[in-house]
Amino acid sequence: MEQTTQRPWEVLRELVEQDQAEKLEAFLETLDTNETVRAIFRLSPDEQRKLLLTISPQSAAELMEDVPDSHVAELLDELEPEEAASIVTEMDSDDQADLLAELDSEDVERILFHMDSEDAADARKLITYPADTAGGLMMTEFISYPDDMTVKAVIQDLSTRPDDYALYNVQYLYVLGKTGKLRGVLRLRDLVFGNPDLPVKKVMAPPEAVPVSASMEDLGEFFDDHEMSAVPAVDERNKMVGVVRRRAVYDALAEKAEEDNLKARGIVGGEELRSMPVLTRSGRRLSWLSVNVLLNILAASVIAVFQDTLSAVIALAVFLPIVSDMSGCSGNQAVAVSMRELTLGVVKPADAMRVLWREIPVGMLNGIALGVLVALAGWIWQGNPWLGVVVGSALALNTVVAVAIGGTVPLILKSFKVDPAIASGPVLTTITDMCGFFLVLGIATLMLPRLIA
C-alpha cells in the first residue's frame, strides 16, 4: 500500500476496511489536529463509526478531542450505549460534560448506565452546571492530600501510583482540610526541595481559587492575570470540587466567539458543519433568511412611497445603497462594541440610555465627516451642489440613527431574553435601510425644485 501517495482519509478508509487496529492507531498518531479532523470528515458516517469501534476506547476518546462536540454526539448516538460508554469513560470529566450536554437526556442516561457508578455520578453532577461557568468547564480529576500528611508520604504515594494518576494534572497538588475545604496548593518543587518529615501544610502555597459559578469571561480575565495552567474551583463553602484548565477556558472562549460570529450571519444555533443533514442546514439558514425577505420588503416599501421623486431625480438611486450601507457599517461597529461589553459584563440592559448618550456624539462626528465626503462626490458628479446637500445630510443623520440603534439594540434584545448575536443584525439593517431611504427621498422631495432646476 503506497501511503505516501494516498491522502490521509484514503489511508484511513483502507485501514478501517481491513480492520487494522494497530496500524490505524499508529497512522493517526502521525497526523496533526487539522489533518485528523479533515480526514475524519471525509469518511462516511458508517466508516467513522467503524473507525471508533476498531481502535481502542482510549484512542477513540483521544481522537474525539479534536472533533466538534456536536459531531461526536451524532457519532456516539449511532453506537450501542455500552460502546459509547466505553469511549466516554476514557475522556476527561470536562470533555465528558461537554459531550453529554449535546445529547438528549434519555441517551445520556443510557450511556451513564454502562459507566462506572462513581464516574456516572460525577458526570451527572457536572452537566447540571451552566456550560459557560467554572462548574461547566472544570474537570473533577485532581490529586489532593490531607494537610497533616508528610512530604515524604506524598512523594511515595505519587511514585507508586503512576497509572492511577495518568489522566491527572500533576503540576499542582492540592491540600484539603478534613471537610474537603481547600487549604493550599503544592507545587512539585515544594515537594522535591521540602523537608520530607514536614507535613504538607508547612510547605504549601496559599491557594488561588475561583467560585464554581464564575463566568467564562471572568475565568479568561483570571488566566490573563495569572501565570497558571489550572485553578481550583470551590463551592460556596470553599470545598474544592474541581480544577479549571487554562486551555479549556481559552478553547471555550474561542468557540463562543465562533458561535456568535455564525449567529450574527443568521445561522440559528450558532453552529453548522457540512456533515449535518442537508435539511437541518437549510432550515437553520432559512429561518432568518425568510425573516430578512420580509424585513427587506418593508424597507423597500419606503422607496415606493417616493417613486415620483426618484423618477424625477434618477441620480438619487445611485446614492440610496451608499447611504444605507455606510450607515449599516457604522451601526455594526456599535453593535460589536455593545456585544463585547455585554460579554465582559461592562454593561447590562439597564444601561441602554447611558450607551445611547455615549454613541450619539460618535455618530454625529462620523456622520458629518462621511456626509461631507458623499456631498462632495454628489456635487462633483452631477455639478449640482443641492444633490450633495441632500445625500450628505441624509448620510449624516442616518449615521447618528445607526450608531444609536446599533449601540442599544443588543441591550434591549437581551432584556427580552432574545439572543442579540442573532437578532441585532437584521433589526439594525431594517431600521437603517428604512431611515436611509426615507431621509434621502424625503429631503429630496422637499428640495425637488432645486434638484431639477
Residue 3: pLDDT band with limits 50, 70, 90: very low
The verdict on residue 272 lying in a domain is no
Which range is least confidently modeled, 165-169, 189-193, 419-423, 449-453? 165-169
For residues 98 and 157, membership in a common domain is answered with: no
For residues 90 and 238, membership in a common domain is answered with: no
pTM: 0.68
**What element of type H or E holds 145?**
strand 144-146
The verdict on residue 73 lying in a domain is yes
For residues 242 and 204, membership in a common domain is answered with: yes
Residue 2: pLDDT band with limits 50, 70, 90: very low
Residue 208: pLDDT band with limits 50, 70, 90: very high
146: which residues sit within 8 A by CB, 6+ positions away? 175, 176, 177, 178
Q: How many whole angstroms separate alpha carbon 204 and alpha carbon 189? A: 10
For residues 296 and 398, membership in a common domain is answered with: yes
Q: Where are the beta strands (DSSP E) in 225-327?
A: 230-234, 240-245
For residues 24 and 125, membership in a common domain is answered with: yes
Q: What is the CATH number of the domain that holds 27?
A: 1.25.60.10
Dump pLDDT digits (tens) for 17-29.
998 889 999 999 9
The verdict on residue 105 lying in a domain is yes
The verdict on residue 135 lying in a domain is no
Average pLDDT over residues 137-144: 91
| Helix/strand/coil percent split, the chain, to 5 | 70, 10, 25
Contact 139, 232 (CB under 8 A): no
pLDDT at 230: 92
Measured from the Cβ of residue 154, the count of other Cβ atoms closer than 10 Å reads: 23
Average pLDDT over residues 190-196: 87
pLDDT at 1: 43
Q: How many whole angstroms separate alpha carbon 20 and alpha carbon 14? A: 9
- Residue whose entry in the numeric block shows the C-alpha cell 491527572: 168
Contact 393, 399 (CB under 8 A): no
The verdict on residue 267 lying in a domain is no
For residues 292 and 431, membership in a common domain is answered with: yes
> What is the domain extent for residue 423?
278-451
For residues 329 and 430, membership in a common domain is answered with: yes
Contact 215, 244 (CB under 8 A): no
For residues 101 and 243, membership in a common domain is answered with: no
Strands laid side by side in the 240-245 sheet: 210-211, 230-234, 240-245
For residues 123 and 159, membership in a common domain is answered with: no
What residue type is 218 in one-letter code?
A: D
pLDDT at 347: 87
pLDDT for residue 356 is more than 80: yes
Q: 210, 235, 261 — which closes off a domain?
A: 261
- Most confident by average pLDDT, 223-237, 283-297, 330-344, 418-432: 223-237
pLDDT for residue 269 is more than 70: no
Q: What is the CATH number of the domain that holds 151?
A: 3.10.580.10
Residue 4: pLDDT band with limits 50, 70, 90: low
Q: 261, 286, 301 — which closes off a domain?
A: 261
pLDDT for residue 258 is more than 90: no
pLDDT for residue 181 is more than 90: yes
Distance of CA 274 to the CA centre of its chain: 18
pLDDT at 438: 93
The verdict on residue 38 lying in a domain is yes
Which range is least confidently modeled, 103-107, 163-167, 403-407? 163-167
pLDDT for residue 68 is more than 80: yes
Average pLDDT over residues 242-261: 85
- Residue whose entry in the numeric block shows the C-alpha cell 488566566: 223
The verdict on residue 82 lying in a domain is yes
* Cell, residue 413: 434584545
How far is the CA of 36 from the CAs of 57, 177, 278, 389, 421, in angstroms?
Answer: 17, 44, 24, 59, 31
pLDDT at 320: 94
Q: At CA 161, angle to CA 157 and CA 166, rounded to 5?
A: 125
Q: What is the CATH number of the domain that holds 334?
A: 1.10.357.20
pLDDT at 158: 86
Overall residue count recorded for the chain in this entry: 453
For the chain, percent of residues with pLDDT exceeding 70: 93
Q: 209, 226, 261 — which closes off a domain?
A: 261
CA dihedral in degrees (334, 339, 340, 345; nearest 10)?
Answer: 130
pLDDT for residue 275 is more than 50: yes
pLDDT at 367: 95
The per-type count for the chain, helices as H runs and strands as E runs, is 22, 6
pLDDT for residue 271 is more than 70: no
pLDDT at 312: 87
Measured from the Cβ of residue 247, the count of other Cβ atoms closer than 10 Å reads: 11
- Please provide the average confidence, as pLDDT, over all residues in the chain: 88
For residues 395 and 285, membership in a common domain is answered with: yes
For residues 176 and 321, membership in a common domain is answered with: no
Number of domains in the chain: 3
* Cell, residue 252: 471555550
The verdict on residue 134 lying in a domain is no
Average pLDDT over residues 67-91: 90
Nearest alpha-carbon partner for 359 in 377, 384, 380, 332: 332
For residues 83 and 169, membership in a common domain is answered with: no
